[in-house]
Protein backbone atom coordinates (compact mmCIF):
# COMPACT_ATOMS: atom_id res chain seq x y z
CA UNK A 1 0.00 0.00 0.00
CA UNK A 2 1.29 3.42 -0.92
CA UNK A 3 1.27 5.78 2.03
CA UNK A 4 3.25 8.89 1.16
CA UNK A 5 2.79 11.62 -1.45
CA UNK A 6 6.14 11.01 -3.19
CA UNK A 7 5.22 7.40 -3.91
CA UNK A 8 1.72 8.40 -5.04
CA UNK A 9 3.18 10.97 -7.45
CA UNK A 10 5.32 8.25 -9.07
CA UNK A 11 2.40 5.83 -9.51
CA UNK A 12 0.71 5.78 -12.93
CA UNK A 13 -2.81 7.16 -12.91
CA UNK A 14 -5.78 4.80 -13.30
CA UNK A 15 -6.02 5.90 -16.94
CA UNK A 16 -2.38 4.91 -17.52
CA UNK A 17 -2.92 1.50 -15.86
CA UNK A 18 -5.97 0.65 -18.00
CA UNK A 19 -5.36 -2.02 -20.61
CA UNK A 20 -8.57 -1.29 -22.50
CA UNK A 21 -10.54 1.80 -23.43
CA UNK A 22 -13.91 2.33 -21.74
CA UNK A 23 -16.89 3.14 -23.93
CA UNK A 24 -19.99 4.86 -22.52
CA UNK A 25 -22.58 2.32 -23.66
CA UNK A 26 -25.57 1.15 -21.68
CA UNK A 27 -26.70 -2.48 -21.94
CA UNK A 28 -29.51 -4.18 -20.05
CA UNK A 29 -27.90 -7.03 -18.10
CA UNK A 30 -28.88 -9.72 -15.64
CA UNK A 31 -26.28 -10.46 -12.98
CA UNK A 32 -26.23 -13.75 -11.07
CA UNK A 33 -24.03 -14.77 -8.15
CA UNK A 34 -24.18 -16.66 -4.86
CA UNK A 35 -24.69 -15.10 -1.45
CA UNK A 36 -22.29 -15.82 1.43
CA UNK A 37 -24.79 -18.54 2.47
CA UNK A 38 -24.59 -20.18 -0.97
CA UNK A 39 -28.03 -19.02 -2.09
CA UNK A 40 -28.39 -17.85 -5.70
CA UNK A 41 -28.97 -14.10 -6.07
CA UNK A 42 -29.91 -12.23 -9.23
CA UNK A 43 -30.66 -8.70 -10.33
CA UNK A 44 -31.39 -6.85 -13.54
CA UNK A 45 -29.48 -3.63 -14.05
CA UNK A 46 -27.68 -1.64 -16.75
CA UNK A 47 -24.06 -1.01 -17.53
CA UNK A 48 -22.62 2.43 -16.88
CA UNK A 49 -19.86 1.79 -19.40
CA UNK A 50 -18.04 -1.16 -20.91
CA UNK A 51 -14.57 -2.16 -22.08
CA UNK A 52 -13.73 -5.09 -24.30
CA UNK A 53 -13.61 -7.50 -21.35
CA UNK A 54 -15.19 -5.52 -18.52
CA UNK A 55 -17.94 -3.23 -17.37
CA UNK A 56 -19.19 -0.96 -14.61
CA UNK A 57 -22.71 -1.18 -13.22
CA UNK A 58 -24.77 -0.26 -10.16
CA UNK A 59 -26.26 -3.04 -8.01
CA UNK A 60 -27.96 -3.60 -4.68
CA UNK A 61 -26.54 -7.13 -4.45
CA UNK A 62 -23.96 -7.79 -1.69
CA UNK A 63 -21.01 -8.20 -4.08
CA UNK A 64 -17.44 -7.72 -2.87
CA UNK A 65 -14.01 -7.59 -4.48
CA UNK A 66 -12.93 -10.98 -5.95
CA UNK A 67 -16.51 -12.36 -6.01
CA UNK A 68 -17.43 -14.19 -9.20
CA UNK A 69 -20.66 -13.60 -11.05
CA UNK A 70 -22.35 -14.26 -14.37
CA UNK A 71 -23.54 -11.42 -16.56
CA UNK A 72 -26.04 -11.99 -19.36
CA UNK A 73 -27.25 -9.53 -21.94
CA UNK A 74 -31.04 -9.24 -21.79
CA UNK A 75 -33.60 -7.51 -23.96
CA UNK A 76 -35.76 -4.74 -22.60
CA UNK A 77 -38.93 -6.87 -22.46
CA UNK A 78 -37.40 -10.31 -21.82
CA UNK A 79 -38.10 -12.13 -18.58
CA UNK A 80 -35.44 -14.79 -19.14
CA UNK A 81 -31.78 -14.03 -19.77
CA UNK A 82 -30.20 -14.59 -23.15
CA UNK A 83 -28.12 -17.64 -22.17
CA UNK A 84 -26.19 -17.62 -25.45
CA UNK A 85 -24.71 -14.26 -24.39
CA UNK A 86 -23.50 -15.12 -20.90
CA UNK A 87 -20.09 -14.25 -19.47
CA UNK A 88 -18.26 -15.11 -16.25
CA UNK A 89 -16.85 -12.06 -14.47
CA UNK A 90 -14.81 -11.23 -11.37
CA UNK A 91 -15.53 -8.17 -9.23
CA UNK A 92 -12.33 -6.11 -9.36
CA UNK A 93 -13.48 -3.16 -7.21
CA UNK A 94 -16.55 -1.69 -5.54
CA UNK A 95 -17.55 1.72 -4.26
CA UNK A 96 -20.61 2.69 -2.23
CA UNK A 97 -23.07 5.16 -3.73
CA UNK A 98 -26.44 6.41 -2.41
CA UNK A 99 -28.31 4.21 -4.94
CA UNK A 100 -26.20 1.06 -4.36
CA UNK A 101 -22.71 -0.16 -5.14
CA UNK A 102 -20.84 0.66 -8.29
CA UNK A 103 -19.05 -2.49 -9.40
CA UNK A 104 -16.09 -2.77 -11.73
CA UNK A 105 -16.03 -6.29 -13.19
CA UNK A 106 -13.66 -8.08 -15.56
CA UNK A 107 -14.55 -11.04 -17.75
CA UNK A 108 -12.50 -14.09 -16.78
CA UNK A 109 -13.01 -16.42 -19.74
CA UNK A 110 -14.37 -16.65 -23.26
CA UNK A 111 -14.97 -14.12 -25.98
CA UNK A 112 -16.11 -10.62 -25.18
CA UNK A 113 -19.76 -10.41 -24.14
CA UNK A 114 -20.33 -7.15 -25.99
CA UNK A 115 -21.06 -7.10 -29.72
CA UNK A 116 -19.09 -3.89 -30.18
CA UNK A 117 -15.95 -2.89 -32.08
CA UNK A 118 -13.62 -1.21 -29.61
CA UNK A 119 -11.07 1.47 -30.46
CA UNK A 120 -7.46 0.46 -29.92
CA UNK A 121 -6.13 1.78 -26.63
CA UNK A 122 -3.05 4.03 -26.81
CA UNK A 123 -0.81 4.05 -23.77
CA UNK A 124 0.83 7.28 -22.72
CA UNK A 125 4.53 7.53 -23.67
CA UNK A 126 5.68 7.47 -20.02
CA UNK A 127 3.98 4.12 -19.29
CA UNK A 128 6.24 1.12 -19.55
CA UNK A 129 4.84 -2.11 -20.99
CA UNK A 130 5.03 -5.29 -18.96
Domain count, the chain: 1
Q: In this predicted structure, what is the pLDDT of residue 8?
A: 41
Task: Render pLDDT for 58-117 as a digit per residue (tens, 0 to 9).
Answer: 999 999 999 999 999 987 655 554 556 789 999 999 999 998 999 999 999 988 888 888
Residue 68 within any structural domain of the chain = yes
Residue 101 within any structural domain of the chain = yes
Residue 116 within any structural domain of the chain = no
Domain harbouring 71, CATH code: 2.40.10.220
Residue 87 within any structural domain of the chain = yes
The rounded percent of the chain whose pLDDT value lies above 90 is 52
CB atoms within 10 A of CB 106: 15
User: Taking the CA atoms of the chain, what radius of gyration do you get in angstroms?
Assistant: 16
Q: What average pLDDT does the chain have?
A: 80
Per-residue b or e along 56-65, where b marks 16 or more CB atoms closer than 10 Å to that residue's CB? bbebebebee
The rounded percent of the chain whose pLDDT value lies above 70 is 69
Closest residue by Cα to residue 107 from 122, 128, 85, 124: 85
Residue 115 within any structural domain of the chain = no
- Cα separation, 119 vs 117, in Å, equals 7
Q: In this predicted structure, what is the pLDDT of residue 124?
A: 53
Residue 7 within any structural domain of the chain = no
Residue 11 within any structural domain of the chain = no
Residue 14 within any structural domain of the chain = no
Burial of 80 (0-12, 13-18, 19+ CB in 10 A): exposed
Q: In this predicted structure, what is the pLDDT of residue 125?
A: 54
Domain span holding position 27: 20-107
Amino acid sequence: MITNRDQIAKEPSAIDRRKEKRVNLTFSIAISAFSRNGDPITERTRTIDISEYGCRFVTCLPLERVDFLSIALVGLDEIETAQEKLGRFEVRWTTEEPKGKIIGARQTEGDTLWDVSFPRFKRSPNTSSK
